[in-house]
Every structure is written in structure tokens, then in C-alpha cells.
């Protein structure tokens, strides 16, 4: 018997996949434009994004490789930290391979690696979010493990963790787990919300 969380995951995946290509592109463009106008994006220098799969919002139009002042990074499954990510700089010369989930990721060049702690802004995929900054991911825990350091008392608030999603992915409330790393902000095709840290 499926749990409520499994049912929610399935419903949102189906809703996302039901979008036509033109709907995906249109809503992605609106969300990206909203993000590009924000101080969160304009003030960031080292920015991690992702390549979309299975109908996710597409942030791959964010990089302007000719623009000085900003560098972009893509997540790569870590070879050394189980269920962790490393971040590799993305430029016009980047070569890709498919990972174990058949998602394209850059071939690691150690000169192009950036520590998660050194990123300014991380644009993250998700399945659902609520108005408190709770995020429901794909279930692998990769982002939570990679940014667990943000949960420790006295740690820096960098990087800013920003979820990007369709507006229909907002839900009333998500029951979080102690290891879930909350979002600092969310952007959709209709809004950008900054969450106030608790405590």
C-alpha cells in the first residue's frame, strides 16, 4: 500500500510529465526571467544549476558564457562520498557523460571543481515545496547530504539554496525529516519567495 508521500510523488511526477514541450519552455522562461531580475541571482558569482530531466523546470538557459563575473557549475555524483555531489564548472568546452541515472553530467576535471561551501547560489530541482521552505526531492538525498553543513550551529549561511519549480508543485505542508536541509528561497513562473530562517 502506497504512503501519502509516495502518492504525492507519483501525482506530481505525472502532472509534470503531462506538460507539453511548449508549456515547459514557456513556464521555465518565466521562472528564469524572474530569477534573473532578482538580487539573489545578480549578486551571485559562483552558481550551481542542473540539467533537467523528466519535465523539470529548465535552468540551462541561465548561463551567459560570454558574461564576465559569473561562473556556472553542474552537480556530479561523487565517487568518494556516498549519495553526495561535487560541482564542476560548466563552459563551452565541457564534455559530458551519462551517470547511473542516465542524466548527463560533466566529466570531472579536478581543476574545474568547486566546493559546495564556496558556491554562492545553488538552483535545485524538486518535486514539491511548501511556504516554509521545506522541499521534497527525488528521494536520493544527494542535495541534503551535500549541504548538511548548513544545518550546523554557527555555520555560514552560504550558499543560498534556491528551489525552482512550477507553481503547481507548491503544497500546503510537507512533513520534514531532521536531515532535510531547508530552502532559502523558491522561484516559480509566478513568484519568488525568500524564506525567513527559524530560530
Q: Is 50 annotated as a binding residue?
A: no
133 labeled part of a ligand binding site? no
* DSSP symbol at 108: P
For 98-130, the pLDDT digits (tens) are 988 888 999 988 899 999 999 999 999 999 999
**97 annotated as a binding-site residue:** no
Q: What is the DSSP letter of 117?
A: G
Q: Quote the pLDDT of residue 199.
A: 47
Is 51 annotated as contributing to ligand binding?
Answer: yes
Paired strand residues for 71: 46
Q: Which fold has domain 20-65+115-193?
A: Rossmann fold (3.40.50)
- Residue 84 assigned to a binding site: no
Mean pLDDT score, 178-194: 94
Does residue 136 have a known ligand-binding role?
yes
How many Å apart are CA 187 and CA 199, to the nearest integer? 24
Res 76 pLDDT > 50 = yes
135 annotated among ligand-binding-site residues: yes
Domain boundaries, the chain: 20-65+115-193
The annotation status of 139 as a binding-site residue, yes or no, is yes
140 is in an annotated binding site: yes
Q: Is a pLDDT exceeding 60 seen at residue 33?
A: yes
- Residue 157, annotated ligand binder? no
pTM over 0.85: yes
Cα distance between the two ends of the chain? 37
Whole-number pLDDT of residue 154? 59
Residue 12 assigned to a binding site: no
Which residue shows C-alpha cell 512533513? 175
Amino acid at each position: 500500500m502506497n504512503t501519502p508521500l509516495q502518492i504525492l510523488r507519483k501525482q506530481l511526477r505525472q502532472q509534470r510529465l503531462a506538460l507539453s514541450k511548449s508549456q515547459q519552455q514557456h513556464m521555465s522562461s518565466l521562472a528564469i526571467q524572474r530569477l534573473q531580475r532578482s538580487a539573489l541571482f545578480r549578486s551571485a558569482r559562483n552558481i550551481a544549476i542542473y540539467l533537467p530531466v523528466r519535465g523539470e523546470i529548465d535552468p540551462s538557459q541561465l548561463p551567459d558564457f560570454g558574461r564576465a563575473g559569473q561562473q556556472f557549475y553542474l552537480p556530479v555524483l561523487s565517487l568518494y562520498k556516498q549519495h553526495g555531489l561535487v560541482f564542476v564548472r560548466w563552459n563551452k568546452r565541457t564534455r559530458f557523460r551519462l551517470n547511473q541515472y542516465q542524466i548527463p553530467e560533466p566529466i570531472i576535471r579536478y581543476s574545474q571543481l568547486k566546493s559546495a561551501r564556496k558556491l554562492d547560489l545553488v538552483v535545485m530541482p524538486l518535486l514539491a515545496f511548501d511556504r516554509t521552505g521545506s522541499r521534497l526531492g527525488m528521494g536520493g538525498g544527494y542535495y541534503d547530504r551535500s549541504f548538511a553543513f548548513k544545518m550546523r550551529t554557527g555555520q555560514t549561511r552560504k550558499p543560498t539554496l534556491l528551489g525552482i519549480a512550477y507553481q503547481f508543485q507548491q503544497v500546503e505542508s510537507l512533513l520534514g525529516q531532521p536531515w532535510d536541509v531547508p530552502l532559502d528561497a523558491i522561484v516559480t513562473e509566478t513568484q519568488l519567495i525568500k524564506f525567513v530562517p527559524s530560530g
